[in-house]
């Protein structure tokens, strides 16, 4: 019972603090009438997109809930079927709320951050960060509260055995992951459609600034920051968080139950509490560096979490030194997360060698820029893969050394990496808020001093977004390894024989899926961008006085193109991620599906890291030139860098981050449907 009260209390405290921070943000001044007009247009576009997305996906969610309910009623019992359907719906609702709460807070915080930038950095930074923290704290708190409550109801109140109770909670994770895949893919298509179109016509063809109000795509671009980097990434991270906790609970219930089943909830509660305290310590330091403040908050959170982790595991009651078999793997997962964050920072930061070398390569043209960025992107996968591999080995052997099942060690290391996700989401959502604030400042004509403050906020935000993407991908790697272990436990697979032809075929098919999904998403961005580019050119051609600034563009038309195209294009790749594992299981068997998952994990992580990091490096290489290097804005090097950034945009914001959600969804589909399909085939 103690686990329920602790996890519920921390979850509720996190939600209440988020509500307080939201009130703090709303009490700040929102600036001039022009600023409010621009912010209102961004909010209107973002709200309209989410409303369309939710209407589009509502039918899929209800249909899947009915299918789950009927199938599990047939194989188990009517009550079991209804329960898992309800759990699935609640998981879907959790992801939907993650997207909605984060985005609505971001569109309120952006204009207030821009207005505070008129006073200075120390006034503006807390508004931007706390705007992100509303999402981070409220959604992680809601997820922890939801998992704890569902397991409490089915295991304690209704008296179900831990294994079926854990399987009911698995439906919650499946619902969260399926909706996260749609949200991330759709938001990624939307944001990169607008970003690419605005850059290619505005910067390259017409030579106007990035957030110039004459550009018809500028509002769509600002909206895209919210639906892609706030709503989409928030849903992505909360999906991995839920999946990691539930995978550890399932393995814990399979290997003995009791403390091992509920310990992931206590560890998650410790991580969330550390994120709350770390967020309260967030402030701009003596040197007025937002980046340093973000790093300081993250390190404080990690330090506090390790202390709390020691207290939780030491007092867990595990026999002998069993607590070390949980403490050390969890710490290994957290360490791997830090390694991934540091690596991402090195390969994508504007102050580091890779981005500057890509900028230098731009002086010889777009081709060398792309080749250089491509190569650094491939190199960037090495430290994270080594870190993930080291964490996997350490988790396995540390757990085994102290009498804990090694599969449990791997699963709890994923919980360790994602334990501080409240802080990570807060820092991630800070990025789009500061980016929007800079856009509002430029479009409102607030002057160079204010724009300079907004630039400093935005520069830190670009790095925090890149680090979050790397962290999300690494977290997904450990999460899907835990889900892979959970699948093997559920279907009773001890070893995987690569000499079996069906297993080898499964590996190849699984390895094919991440590149296929990447291609489909990038092609979707290309098709949608073509439509928007034509619309931008048409407006500059047909609206008299637009280039001179005496007439207003039709922003709504570009917003509409981005929204309709994103919702149309996301369905095929997302449905493939759900259908492919079931088809493999039905045609080739459970061992082949295990091979399928193994193949998808390997290529999924490699492709995701490569695309996210190369895209981030291309982006900051462009910004390095825009800051004055190699001829600055308008130079030939700048045009080449914009082309490289255009290639990198769908890499880092559409395909790359969607892959970690995809492999999580496929692993969850395997764990949810495999026992059911096997029962029906008997």
pLDDT tens for each residue of 337-348:
878 878 888 888
What integer pLDDT is reported at residue 361 of this predicted model?
A: 95
Q: What is the pLDDT of residue 679?
A: 60
Cα 313 → chain centroid: 28
Full 3-state SS string of 132-185: HHHHHHHHHHHHHHHHHHHHHHHHHHCCCCHHHHHHHHHHHHHHHHHHHHHHHH
Q: What is the mean pLDDT of residues 521-527?
A: 90
Q: What is the pLDDT of residue 218?
A: 82
More confident residue, 58 or 210: 58
Q: Which of 97, 113, 110 is nearest to 42 (CA)?
A: 110
DSSP string, 477-492: HHHHHHHHHHHHHHHT
Q: Work out the pLDDT band at 1, boundaries 50, 70, 90.
A: low
Among the residue ranges 152-161, 283-292, 302-311, 468-477, the one predicted with the least confidence is: 283-292
Q: What is the mean pLDDT of residues 630-647?
A: 89
CA 420 to chain centre: 14
Q: Which residues neighbour 202 within 8 Å (Cβ) at sequence distance 6 or greater?
A: 208, 209, 210, 212, 215, 217, 218, 536
The predicted structure's pLDDT at residue 286: 40
- Name the token pair of 681: 């085939």
Residue with tokens 């939710």: 54
For residues 124 and 237, which has the higher predicted lDDT (pLDDT)?
Answer: 124
- Residues 529 and 192 sit within 8 Å (Cβ to Cβ): yes
Give the per-residue pLDDT at 462: 64
User: In this predicted structure, what is the pLDDT of residue 372?
Assistant: 96
Judged against a pLDDT cut of 90, whether residue 169 lies above it is answered with no
Residues with Cβ within 8 Å of 477's Cβ and at least 6 positions away in sequence, in order, are: 388, 601, 605, 660
Place of tokens 């005496």: 550
Predicted model pTM: 0.85
Please report, for residues 78, 325, 485, 676, the alpha-carbon distance to residue 489 in angstroms, rounded to integers and kept in the order given.
Answer: 25, 20, 6, 14
What DSSP string runs through 48-91? HHHHHHHHHHHHHHHHHHHHHHHHHHHHT-HHHHHHHHHHHHHH
DSSP designation for 244:
H
Tokens linked to 556: 């709504």
Q: Give residue 177's pLDDT.
A: 80
Q: Pick left, alpha or beta for residue 120 (phi over 0 → left; psi -120 to 50 → alpha; otherwise beta).
A: left
The percent of residues above 70 in pLDDT, for the chain, comes to: 95
Q: Which tokens hold the place of 451?
A: 């724009």
Determine contact, residues 209/179, Cβ cutoff 8 Å. Answer: no
Whether the Cβ atoms of residue 184 and residue 236 lie closer than 8 Å to each other: yes
Contact 270, 204 (CB under 8 A): no
C-beta pairs of 625-634 under 8 Å, 24+ apart in sequence: 625/359, 625/362, 627/350, 629/356, 629/359, 630/359, 630/360, 630/362, 630/363, 633/209, 634/207
For CA atoms 258, 260, 262, 263, give the dihedral sign: positive
DSSP state of 544: T
Element (H, E) at 339: helix 324-348
Place of tokens 């808020």: 433
CB atoms under 10 Å from CB of 308, counted, come to 20
Contact 199, 646 (CB under 8 A): yes
Which residues are CB-neighbours of 85 under 8 A, at least 6 positions away?
65, 66, 68, 69, 72, 171
Q: Which two tokens stand for residue 513?
A: 């899926």
| Residue 288 confidence class, pLDDT cut points 50, 70, 90 | low
Q: How sure is the predictor about 434, in pLDDT bands with cuts at 50, 70 and 90?
A: confident
How far does the chain reach from its first CA to its final CA, in angstroms?
39
Tell me, what DSSP letter sits at residue 570? S
User: pLDDT tens digits, residue range 305-353?
Assistant: 999 999 999 998 887 888 999 999 999 988 888 788 788 888 888 888 9
pLDDT (mean) for 601-610: 91
CA distance 187 to 567: 9
How many alpha carbons fall within 13 Å on the CB side of residue 615? 27
- Residues above pLDDT 90, as percent of the chain: 24
Residue 681 has pLDDT above 80, yes or no: no
Are the C-beta atoms of residues 106 and 429 closer than 8 Å to each other?
yes
pLDDT of residue 348: 85
Asked if 602 and 511 touch (Cβ cutoff 8 Å), the reply is yes
Task: Check residues 271 and 418 and name the one with the higher pLDDT.
Answer: 271
Residue 297 confidence (pLDDT)? 81
pLDDT at 100: 80
Average pLDDT over the chain, rounded to whole? 85
């Amino acid at each position: 019972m103690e686990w329920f009260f602790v996890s519920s209390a921390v979850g509720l405290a996190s939600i209440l603090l988020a509500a307080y921070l939201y009130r703090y943000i709303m009490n700040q001044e929102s600036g001039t009438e022009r600023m409010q007009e621009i912010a209102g247009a961004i909010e209107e576009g973002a709200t309209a997109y989410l409303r369309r997305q939710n209407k589009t996906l509502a039918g899929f969610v209800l249909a899947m809930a009915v299918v789950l309910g009927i199938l599990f009623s047939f194989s188990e019992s009517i009550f079991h079927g209804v329960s898992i359907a309800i759990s699935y719906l609640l998981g879907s609702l959790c992801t939907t709320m993650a997207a909605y709460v984060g985005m609505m807070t971001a569109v309120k915080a952006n204009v207030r951050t821009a207005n505070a930038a008129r006073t200075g950095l120390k006034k503006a930074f807390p508004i931007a960060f706390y705007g992100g923290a509303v999402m981070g704290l409220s959604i992680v708190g809601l997820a922890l509260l939801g998992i704890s409550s569902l397991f409490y109801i089915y295991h304690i109140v209704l008296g179900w055995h831990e294994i079926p109770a854990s399987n009911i909670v698995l439906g919650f994770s499946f619902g969260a992951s399926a909706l996260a895949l749609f949200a991330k893919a759709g938001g990624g298509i939307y944001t990169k459609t607008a970003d690419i179109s605005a850059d290619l016509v505005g910067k390259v063809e017409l030579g106007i600034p990035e957030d110039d109000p004459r550009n018809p795509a500028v509002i769509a671009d600002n909206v895209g920051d919210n639906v892609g980097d706030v709503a989409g990434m928030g849903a992505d991270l909360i999906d991995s968080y839920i999946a990691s906790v539930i995978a550890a609970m399932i393995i814990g219930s399979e290997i003995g139950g009791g403390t091992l089943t509920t310990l992931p909830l206590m560890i998650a509660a410790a991580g969330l509490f550390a994120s709350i305290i770390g967020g309260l310590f967030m402030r701009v330091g003596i040197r007025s560096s937002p980046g340093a403040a973000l790093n300081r908050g993250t390190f404080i959170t990690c330090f506090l979490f390790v202390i709390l982790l020691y207290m939780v595991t030491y007092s867990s009651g595990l026999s002998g030194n069993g607590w070390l078999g949980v403490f050390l793997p969890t710490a290994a997962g957290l360490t791997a997360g830090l390694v991934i964050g540091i690596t991402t920072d090195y390969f994508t930061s504007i102050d580091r060698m890779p981005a500057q070398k890509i900028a230098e390569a731009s002086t010889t043209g777009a081709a060398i820029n792309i080749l250089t960025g491509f190569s650094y992107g491939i190199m960037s996968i090495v430290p994270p893969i080594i870190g993930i591999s080291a964490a996997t080995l350490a988790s396995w052997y540390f757990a085994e050394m102290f009498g804990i099942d090694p599969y449990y060690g791997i699963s709890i290391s994923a919980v360790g990496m994602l334990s501080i996700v409240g802080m990570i989401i807060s820092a991630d959502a800070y990025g789009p808020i500061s980016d929007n604030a800079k856009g509002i400042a430029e479009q409102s004509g607030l002057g160079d001093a204010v724009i300079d403050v907004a630039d400093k906020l935005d520069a830190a935000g670009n790095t925090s977004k890149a680090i979050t993407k790397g962290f999300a991908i690494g977290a997904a790697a450990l999460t899907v390894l835990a889900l892979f272990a959970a699948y093997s436990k559920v279907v009773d697979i001890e070893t995987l024989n690569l000499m079996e032809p069906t297993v080898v075929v499964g590996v190849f098919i699984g390895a094919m899926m991440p590149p296929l999904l990447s291609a489909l998403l990038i092609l979707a961005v290309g098709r949608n961008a073509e439509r928007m580019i034509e619309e931008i050119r048409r407006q500059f051609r047909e609206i008299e006085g637009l280039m001179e600034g005496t007439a207003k563009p039709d922003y709504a038309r570009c917003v509409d193109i981005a929204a309709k195209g994103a919702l149309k294009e996301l369905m095929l790749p997302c449905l493939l991620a759900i259908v492919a594992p079931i088809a493999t299981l039905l045609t080739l068997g459970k061992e082949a599906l295990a091979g399928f998952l193994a193949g998808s994990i390997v290529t999924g992580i490699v492709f995701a890291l490569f695309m996210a990091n190369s895209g981030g490096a291309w982006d900051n290489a462009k910004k390095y030139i825009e800051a004055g290097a190699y001829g600055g804005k308008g130079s030939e090097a700048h045009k080449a860098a914009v082309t490289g950034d255009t290639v990198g945009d769908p890499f880092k914001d559409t395909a790359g981050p969607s892959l970690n959600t995809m492999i999580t969804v496929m692993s969850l589909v395997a764990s949810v449907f495999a026992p059911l399909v096997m029962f029906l085939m008997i």
